[in-house]
């Protein structure tokens, strides 16, 4: 009779004696490590980047949502340690994998990080371990890719080891919802997998939501992010419609938002950035193409959202034209370069596309972003310029791309010769306030 690992792991979860392993110590893994430590578990973080491992072991956080003093406390108490030694992956009772899932240059899923993490784990898998994939991926990854790799060890899922998918739902910079108070979806390969993984997360996360399979959990996440991508695409198209009709799209959105039911507010902007919304829906589109089905909403939303930088750069051309100027040789100040407000991340930021387009037209582009001191673009290094009346006045056109709470719009409006505000698709914005 094989050992009852299910009972053993559930007991270790309740007693907090379970060692929690986290593979990938980024914007998902580090907040999860902190919540597990907060719940009283010891955490062994694993990352292939030695700099990340060393920084964490010094008690210094590289993730905005985990304050350094909080991490330092856990490191000092011995509750969180980090390693780059993969042989230690046989130590944890639970191993959560939170590695990037980008798109390749041809916009196809790049699951190489998941494959590499799974292979590392498979080399050291021992009886009694639970494994969870948190990275957003196409439906079937857990069952079709991870399970065979892990069962090569000869261990049987559901009795010797446990495997589930539990999507990360981190909204970087969200002041209200963090890892602990965001409900957690758990979809195990077997019911025992779901029970074990739910028990191990429960002390650290307020609400657990078990579902019947990893595929249901994988698709839950994709529905969440596709919902956002499609609705952002819709409101961006509405911004273009309102602009052509000379109507303030924000007035329309605010008015629609008074409807107490059946409406959810989204806001127009320069396009979609970040490591999720521009990418995740294409994981589903890719999977469905292999089944001869075109997910048209995903594709159309992707088209509309990815055309927004060009749409707004055309506004700069018009604004400069009003002054009898060409883009070439004109000084354009781009305000806000991160992919959304009040964060320090420029991944997939549409503001980068805006800068690139303006530079290619010969514009003399500078930027201001209180969270991004410098950025590297096409081999160039651009540094954030101070947002002062002098820098605004020196620009031929100011373009507000990402709104930050730290930015003084009144000053910009007063000093700008021409103002393009990607949050407002109203023609008169090109003439400043
Ligand atoms: N955006 C708009 N209009 C909107 C909302 C967003 O243009 O109405 C833009 C943002 O500026 C940003 C992009 O879309 O460039 C993505 O915005 P986001 O708020 O979805 O930001 P993410 O990708 O950091 O976080 C999202 C999570 N956000 C929310 O649920 C509010 C959520 O979808 C996931 O938990 C997370 O991605 C993830 O990891 O999948």
Is the minimum distance from the CB of 170 to ligand 1 under 6 angstroms? yes
Is position 394 within any domain? yes
Q: Is the Cα dihedral 414, 418, 419, 425 positive or negative?
A: positive
pTM: 0.93
Is the minimum distance from the CB of 273 to ligand 1 under 6 angstroms? yes
Using alpha carbons only, what angle is made at residue 139 by residues 136 and 142, rounded to the nearest 5 degrees? Answer: 80
Q: Is 27 a residue whose pLDDT tops 80?
A: yes
Same domain, 138 and 259: no
Segment 204-249, tens digit of pLDDT: 999 999 999 999 999 999 999 999 999 999 999 999 999 999 999 9
Segment 123-156, tens digit of pLDDT: 999 999 999 999 999 999 999 999 999 999 999 9
Rg (CA), the chain: 24
Residue nearest (by alpha carbon) to ligand 1 atom 14: 272
Q: Is 430 a residue whose pLDDT tops 60?
A: no
**Distance of CA 277 from the midpoint of ligand 1 (Å):** 6
Q: Mean per-residue pLDDT for 36-63?
A: 98
Is position 83 within any domain? yes
Same domain, 289 and 375: yes
Is the minimum distance from the CB of 42 to ligand 1 under 6 angstroms? no
**Distance of CA 253 from the midpoint of ligand 1 (Å):** 18
Is position 224 within any domain? no
Q: Which of 171, 172, 234 to mutate to test the pocket of ligand 1 (most atoms within 8 A of CB)?
A: 171
pLDDT at 427: 44
The chain-wide mean pLDDT, for the chain, equals 94
Q: How crowded is residue 251: how many other Cβ atoms within 10 Å of its Cβ?
A: 12
Torsion of CA 313, 317, 318, 320, to 10 degrees: 130
Same domain, 312 and 361: yes
- Sequence-distant (6+) residues with CB within 8 A of 289 are none
Is position 226 within any domain? no
Q: How far is CA 410 from CA 157, 309, 322, 388, in A?
A: 61, 24, 22, 12
What gap in Å lies between CA 314 and CA 361, rounded to an integer? 11
List the CATH number of the domain containing 18.
3.40.50.720
Segment 341-364, tens digit of pLDDT: 999 999 899 999 999 999 999 999
Is the minimum distance from the CB of 344 to ligand 1 under 6 angstroms? no
Is position 219 within any domain? no
Same domain, 274 and 314: yes
Is the minimum distance from the CB of 396 to ligand 1 under 6 angstroms? no
Is position 220 within any domain? no
Q: Yes or no: say if 287 and 139 are a contact pair by the CB < 8 Å rule.
A: yes
Domain residue limits at 196: 5-212
Is the minimum distance from the CB of 266 to ligand 1 under 6 angstroms? yes
Highest mean pLDDT among 169-173, 383-387, 421-425: 383-387
What gap in Å lies between CA 132 and CA 198, rounded to an integer? 10
Count structural domains, the chain.
2
Is position 221 within any domain? no
Same domain, 265 and 191: no
Calculate what percentage of the chain has a pLDDT beyond 70: 97
- Sequence-distant (6+) residues with CB within 8 A of 429 are 315, 419, 420, 421
pLDDT at 432: 45
Listed residues 177, 212, 247: the one ending a domain? 212
Concatenating the DSSP letter of every residue in 390-422 gives: HHHHH-SEEEE-S--TT--HHHHHHH-SSEEET
Q: How crowded is residue 51: how many other Cβ atoms within 10 Å of its Cβ?
A: 10
Listed residues 178, 212, 246: the one ending a domain? 212
Q: How crowded is residue 233: how many other Cβ atoms within 10 Å of its Cβ?
A: 24
What gap in Å lies between CA 45 and CA 114, rounded to an integer? 16
pLDDT at 2: 59
Same domain, 193 and 241: no
Is the minimum distance from the CB of 172 to ligand 1 under 6 angstroms? yes
* The ligand 1 atom nearest the CA atom of 267: 8
Is position 217 within any domain? no
Our separate counts of H helices and E strands in the chain read 14, 14
* The ligand 1 atom nearest the CA atom of 348: 15
Same domain, 102 and 32: yes
Same domain, 126 and 245: no
Segment 64-119, tens digit of pLDDT: 999 999 999 999 999 999 999 999 999 999 999 999 999 988 889 999 999 999 99
Residue positions counted in the chain: 433
**Distance of CA 14 from the midpoint of ligand 1 (Å):** 34
Residue nearest (by alpha carbon) to ligand 1 atom 40: 276
Active site residues: 276
pLDDT at 433: 41
For residue 406, how many C-alpha atoms fall within 13 Å in the half-sphere facing its CB?
Answer: 15
CB-based burial of residue 129 (10 Å sphere; 0-12 exposed, 13-18 middle, 19+ buried)? buried
What gap in Å lies between CA 70 and CA 131, rounded to an integer? 26
Buried b (16+ CB within 10 A) or exposed e, 282-319: bbbbbbeeeeeeebebbeebbebbeebbebbbebbbeb
| Coil/strand/helix, residue 313 | helix
pLDDT at 26: 96
What gap in Å lies between CA 378 and CA 412, rounded to an integer? 28
Same domain, 117 and 164: yes
Q: Which of 136, 257, 277 to mutate to test the pocket of ligand 1 (most atoms within 8 A of CB)?
A: 277
Same domain, 299 and 403: yes
Same domain, 42 and 124: yes
What gap in Å lies between CA 326 and CA 207, rounded to an integer? 56
Same domain, 85 and 116: yes
């Amino acid at each position: 009779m094989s050992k009852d690992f299910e009972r053993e792991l559930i007991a270790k979860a309740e007693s907090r004696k379970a060692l929690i392993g986290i593979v990938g110590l980024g914007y998902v893994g580090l907040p999860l490590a902190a919540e597990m430590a907060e719940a009283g578990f010891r955490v062994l973080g694993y990352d292939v980047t030695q700099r990340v491992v060393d920084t964490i072991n010094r008690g210094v956080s590289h993730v905005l949502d985990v304050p350094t003093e909080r991490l330092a406390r856990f490191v000092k108490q011995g509750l969180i340690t980090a390693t780059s030694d993969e042989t230690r992956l046989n130590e944890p009772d639970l191993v959560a994998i939170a590695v990037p899932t980008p798109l390749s240059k041809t916009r196809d899923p790049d699951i190489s990080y998941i494959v590499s993490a799974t292979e590392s784990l498979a080399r050291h898998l021992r009886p009694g371990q639970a494994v969870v994939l948190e990275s957003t991926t196409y439906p079937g990854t857990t069952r079709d890719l991870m399970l065979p790799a892990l069962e090569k060890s000869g261990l049987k899922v559901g009795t010797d080891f446990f495997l589930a998918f539990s999507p990360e739902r981190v909204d970087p910079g969200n002041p209200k919802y963090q890892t602990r108070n965001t409900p957690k979806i758990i979809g195990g390969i077997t019911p025992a997998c779901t029970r074990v993984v739910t028990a191990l997360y429960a002390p650290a996360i307020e609400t657990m939501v078990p579902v019947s399979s990893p595929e249901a959990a994988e698709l839950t996440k994709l529905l969440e992010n596709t919902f956002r991508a499609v609705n952002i695409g819709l409101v961006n198209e509405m911004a273009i419609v309102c602009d052509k009709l000379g109507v303030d799209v924000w007035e329309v959105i605010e008015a629609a938002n008074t409807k107490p039911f059946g409406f959810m507010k989204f806001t127009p902007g320069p396009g979609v950035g970040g490591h999720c919304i521009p990418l995740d829906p294409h994981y589903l589109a890719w999977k469905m193409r292999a089944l001869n089905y075109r997910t048209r909403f995903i594709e159309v939303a992707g088209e509309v959202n990815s055309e927004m930088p060009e749409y707004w750069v055309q506004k700069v051309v018009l604004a400069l034209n009003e002054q009898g100027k060409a883009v070439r040789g004109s000084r354009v100040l781009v305000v806000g370069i991160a992919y959304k407000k009040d964060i320090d991340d420029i991944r997939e930021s549409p503001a980068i596309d805006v800068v690139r387009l303006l530079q290619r037209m010969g514009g003399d582009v500078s930027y201001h972003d209180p969270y991004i001191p410098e950025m590297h673009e096409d081999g160039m290094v651009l540094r954030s310029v101070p947002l002062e009346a002098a820098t605004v006045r020196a620009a031929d056109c100011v373009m507000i791309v990402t709104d930050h709470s730290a930015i003084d719009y009144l000053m910009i409006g007063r000093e700008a010769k021409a103002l393009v505000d990607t949050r407002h698709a109203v023609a008169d914005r090109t003439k400043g306030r």
